[in-house]
Structure 1
Amino acid sequence: MLNPQWLRSFAAVAELGGFTRAANQLGLTQAAVSQHVQHLEAELGPLLIRRGRQLELMPSGVALLAYCGEIEQAHKRLQLQLADTTFDSGEVSLVTPGSVGLALYPLLLDLQQAHPGLVIRHRFAPDPETLAAVLDKRYELGLVTLRPDDARLAAEPFAEEPLELVVPAGEEVDGWSDLERLGFIDHPDGRAMATRLLSRHFAGSPGVSALPLRGFSNQISLILAPVARGLGFTVIPRHAREAFADQHAIRVIECATPVVDTLWLVHRAQWPLSSRATWVLKQIRERLMSKDALARP
């Protein structure tokens, strides 16, 4: 590794065309600058041709001056990264559950479109994968449905997400027998979600396992497709229901005792969030809250 001070002295000599001018600019003695260049030439070979008071760079000197420029640019980039003063450029990485992810992703793209310097990296994942991605430093931010018990992670409430009982449009649900008639469209979290919601709304019911199974999908954006075709009902988070394209083909049944999940924002506890991550979180939280407020009856 070449001594940075030697490189600074050489670059000043090459750019200013003399040892005296370089010494004055750097606040060093001429002897010190000359010694720095001699050290470099001892390692790299001749760099300058001295013709009286005029200097000419040899090919090796031209290459070294270009190298000095690359180091200076790299130093400036590092200072900008460490200063972290820009909010609208750089990468923002976020892992979320599929449901809220369907609502957030268009908002993230809106921000990227308005601020082309932003790079959005988003992934759908269940809680265990999200926690692993944040802990392994592959993603800066994550949203999970259960607050983690890990001292390495900071967690704070981000948003609330109610569970909804969704049936085909035109259907009525007055009792458990209506659900038996419709049948259940399952998904990876379907039985757990349905149990939590239906056990409150239909106290004393036999439980979800007693319902006829009419279908299954592991794609969050496709779960409501069979419901829209009249093939059954399901229980799904509100954000996933709101993202479904054909809202006229489905109906939400109001439940007397709602089940509302808290989504938790997680990141590495010992690391401060980047300024762009802080700014993006503020933007999407405000837009998501506004969107939810408009959706309420």
Structure 2
Amino acid sequence: MLQPQWLRTFRTLVSVGNFTRTAEQLDLTQAAVSQHVRHLETQLGKLLIRHPRKLELTPAGHALLDYAREMETAEQRLAQRLAGNEDSHGDIRLITPGSIGLALYPRLLALQQASPGLNIHHRFAPTREVVESVLENRFELGIVTQKPDDPRLSVTELTREPLELVVPAGVEIHDWRDLETLGFIDHPDGQDMASRLLSRRFPGNPGVRSLPRSGSTNQISLILEPVARGLGFSVVPRHAREAFQNPQAIKVVAPADGDVEVVDTLWWITRAEWPLSARARRVQRDLQAGL
């Protein structure tokens, strides 16, 4: 029989990659950590290959890690079910794209202040990771920018979010050459967002890839910082622009008469097979009411 403590030790060891740090994190001795691994290997065969600076999992090790994660998920589901009717205590696990996450996180903290028994766990992630995390039950609530069609997911519309062309304050944009002069501040979704918006604003343009890149960042909260310093322009969702801390240094280029806004729909996703906890339903209601 596999003892739960052995599984916790193994899962932590794989996560941190070091026997000493595992012992410190679990408040065990290093000898105890090694003993737990030996117990597991006695029953299951070799699980780890020890290299000087890393640990490598054997096929048996990968299988055990999957099993340990499944057990952890089952424990979380049990805890959620036992506390599912309580909307002011327990964990709230929400995973979102960056832009909407910037807008929602302060509201989540306000919710936690109003109900100190709640524990907020919020992660920023692209749509693919959001879907995977909800399907694997690591997060109860997710928000995505593309509507998934997986039958295991329940999908409902949250809000609609326009894309915006943002330039330094005082800069005028009349044609494509003005964008070429500024240069593009890129980000992980920048090429896609800019292509969709600029194709509407500047029909027949040679494409965003033809523009000089003046910089890039993968931090959603920092995308507009170089724009504010006059180093280029970017295309971001409205919530990212609204959350920027230096709004007087930037300007949104409004669409011309007749231009159609480019708008992304944001979707709630949850597992379809079981009901949401009361606290998750409360989060949905409170956050949606503020958008």
The normalised TM-score by structure 2 is: 0.70
Instruction: List, as ranges, runs of 4+ consecutive aligned residues in structure 1 with deviation greater than 6 Å.
Output: none
- Tell me the distance in 2 between the aligned counterparts of 1:214 and 1:82: 53
Secondary structure at 1:258 match in 2: coil
Residue identity in the other structure for 1:133: S
On the 8 A contact 2:81/2:277 being kept in 1, the answer is no
Residue among 259, 280, 288 paired with 1:285: 288
Shift of 1:191: 0.7
Question: Number of residues paired by the alignment?
Answer: 211
Retained in 1: the 8 A contact 2:186–2:217? Answer: yes
Unaligned runs of 5+ in 1: 1-77, 290-297
Aligned match of 1:194: 194
| Aligned: 1:182 with 2:182 | yes
Matched, 1:162 2:155: no
After superposition, the Cα gap between the structure-2 partners of 1:83 and 1:180, relative to the gap in structure 1 and judged at 3 Å, is: closer
Identity of aligned residues (%): 59
> Counterpart of 1:220?
220
Distance 1:230 1:276 in 2: 44
The CA deviation at 1:226 is 0.4
1:266 maps to what in 2? 269
Matched residue of 1:215: which SS? strand
Q: Which residue of 1 aligns with 2:101?
A: 101
Instruction: Specify the code of the residue in structure 1 equivalent to 2:270.
Output: H
Aligned match of 1:246: 246
Equivalent position of 2:232 in the other structure:
232
* Cα distance in 1, alignment partners of residues 211 and 121 from structure 2: 40
SS in 2 for 1:221: helix
Find the structure with the greater CA-based Rg.
Answer: 1
Tell me by how many angstroms 1:209 deviates.
Answer: 1.0
Tell me the TM-score normalised to structure 1 length.
Answer: 0.69
Write out per-residue CA displacement over residues 196-217 of structure 1, whole angstroms, 9 at most, x where no aligned residue: 0000110111110111111010
Whole-Å separation in 1 of the counterparts to 2:211 and 2:237: 20
What SS does the aligned partner of 1:257 have? Answer: coil
**Which secondary structure state, in structure 2, belongs to the residue aligned with residue 199 of structure 1?**
helix
1:82 is displaced (CA, Å) by 3.8
Shift of 1:85: 2.8
Cα shift readout 1:168-201 (whole Å, capped 9, x = no counterpart): 0001111111111111111111011000000011
CA distance in 1, matches of 2:121, 2:267: 19
Q: Could you give the per-residue CA deviations for residues 82-117 of structure 1, whole angstroms, max 9, x where no partner exists?
A: 473321111110000001000000000000011101
- TM-aligned CA distance change 1:222 to 1:235, over 3 Å: same
Q: In 2, Cα distance between the equivalents of 1:216 and 1:250?
A: 17
Tell me which amino acid in the other structure corresponds to 2:243. A
Alignment of 1:1-297 (within 5 A): 81-82=81-82, 84-255=84-255, 256-287=259-290, 289=291
Q: Which residue type is aligned with residue 261 of structure 1?
A: D
CA distance in 2, matches of 1:220, 1:80: 31
